């Protein structure tokens, strides 16, 4: 009996490992395109990236630390610097996702391997899902980096603006060097808005990466050439950035920074960073309605990114079927 008691945990562990391995094997066998694409993306990682890949996160941690240190000075532009850092990393992540996706299908046409892939009898659905998941595996570290940066900046926004509002409430200076009279009023943490900002940060970050990879795949499937597909995908994804950024500048160019960040259509240009910042603000006499006003902007961004993802995947499926893939796998 003691031997059985000692052996049982081993048997349970071994059984769990076998079950997990079986599930992984079935997944790979059921969709070999995903396995092939994932292995290819891993092989394509440059040696320099493998060796010095830690430097990008390390530099980002250093920049975030500098932003946090600016909280010690109430007059520092912490909010603006934090938003600029998010925008830069956001653009880098979107560009990386588009470039990886734009090469996933076009290389099969350029390398003359598309016909061989189609002749295997793999369905168009499996090709689409396999290619997309392989690309998402490659871009996952960038998605995690962007999401982590946004999450870290939420309390930074809260603390920076709490300090600023408290300073103004004591009669600190306002813009243009004018001195304001002390303005009393509560400064409170909005719990539901803080939790909502965390949830929406995760959702919008995932949607952003899904949309960019899907747009890259769609351009890759239609154009069949990597560079032209990449250029077309960049134009499609960054068209709202240019259009709504220009519209925001036209409407509130001469206004203060807070007016620009509260403009609803700016969220379509910056992928939701501005309304996420608004959700992180404390409740004061200046921010009585900003939390509820931010929700429609977040909804607009989610609808835009979700529509881009869905339409792009439909275009990929159509292009794969056009080029000879079967609608269902052959028996």
Candidates 11, 295, 292, 313; CA nearest to 132 is 313
CA dihedral for 10, 13, 14, 15, sign (positive or negative): positive
Q: What is the pLDDT of residue 149?
A: 95
* Axis-axis angle for helices 124-169, 191-223 (nearest 10): 140
What integer pLDDT is reported at residue 255 of this predicted model?
63
* Token code pair at residue 59: 């530099």
Task: Output the pLDDT for position 328.
Answer: 62
Q: Three-state DSSP class for 288? A: coil
CA angle 18, 24, 30 (to 5 degrees): 130
Q: What is the pLDDT along the chain (331 residues), one digit of tens a residue?
A: 444 444 444 444 445 544 543 454 444 446 888 888 888 888 887 777 777 778 888 999 999 999 999 998 888 889 999 999 999 999 999 999 999 999 999 988 888 888 888 888 888 888 999 999 999 999 999 999 999 999 999 999 999 888 888 777 665 554 444 444 455 567 888 899 999 999 999 999 999 999 999 999 999 999 988 899 999 999 999 999 999 999 998 888 766 777 888 899 999 999 999 999 999 999 888 888 899 999 999 999 999 999 999 999 999 999 998 887 766 655 4
Those residues with Cβ within 8 angstroms of residue 126's Cβ, 6 or more apart along the chain or in another chain: 31, 33, 329
Q: Is residue 157 a contact partner of residue 193, using CB atoms and an 8 Å limit?
A: no
The pair of structure tokens assigned to 310 is 């869905």
> Running DSSP on this structure, what letter comes out for residue 265?
T
Q: What is the DSSP letter of 181?
A: P
- What's the length of the chain? 331
Residue 275 to residue 281: CA distance in whole angstroms? 10
Residue linked to tokens 């609803």: 264
CA 107/CA 320 separation, integer angstroms: 14
Torsion of CA 175, 179, 183, 186, to 10 degrees: 50
Instruction: Supply the pLDDT for residue 329.
Output: 57
Confidence (pLDDT) at 257 = 77
What distance in Å separates the CA atoms of residue 267 and residue 299, rounded to the nearest whole number? 10
Strand partners, 326: 123
CA-based torsion, 83, 84, 85, 87: positive or negative: positive
């Amino acid at each position: 009996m003691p031997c059985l008691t000692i052996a049982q945990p081993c048997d349970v562990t071994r059984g769990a490992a076998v079950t997990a391995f079986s599930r992984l094997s079935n997944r790979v066998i059921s969709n070999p395109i995903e396995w092939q694409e994932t292995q290819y993306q891993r092989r394509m990682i440059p040696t320099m990236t493998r060796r010095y890949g830690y430097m990008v996160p390390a530099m980002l941690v250093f920049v975030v630390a500098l932003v946090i240190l600016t909280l010690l000075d109430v007059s520092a532009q912490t909010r603006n610097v934090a938003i600029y850092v998010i925008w830069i990393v956001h653009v880098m992540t979107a560009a990386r996702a588009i470039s990886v996706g734009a090469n996933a299908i076009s290389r099969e046409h350029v390398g003359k391997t598309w016909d061989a892939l189609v002749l295997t009898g793999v369905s168009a659905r499996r090709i689409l899902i396999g290619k997309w998941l392989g690309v998402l595996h490659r871009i996952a570290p960038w998605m995690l980096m962007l999401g982590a940066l946004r999450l870290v900046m939420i309390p930074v926004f809260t603390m920076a603006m709490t300090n600023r509002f408290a300073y103004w409430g004591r009669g600190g200076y306002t813009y243009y060097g004018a001195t304001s009279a002390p303005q009393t009023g509560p400064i409170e943490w909005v719990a539901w808005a803080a939790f909502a900002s965390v949830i929406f940060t995760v959702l919008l970050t995932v949607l952003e990466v899904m949309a960019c990879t899907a747009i890259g795949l769609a351009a890759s499937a239609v154009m069949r050439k990597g560079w032209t597909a990449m250029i077309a995908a960049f134009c499609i994804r960054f068209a709202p950035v240019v259009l709504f950024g220009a519209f925001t500048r036209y409407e509130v160019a001469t206004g203060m920074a807070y007016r620009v960040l509260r403009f609803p259509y700016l969220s379509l240009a910056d992928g939701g960073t501005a309304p996420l910042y608004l959700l992180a603000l404390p409740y004061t006499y200046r921010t009585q309605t900003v939390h509820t006003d931010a929700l429609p902007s977040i909804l607009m961004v989610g609808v835009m990114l979700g529509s881009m993802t869905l339409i792009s995947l439909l275009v990929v499926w159509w292009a794969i079927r056009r080029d000879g893939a079967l609608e269902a796998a052959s028996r």
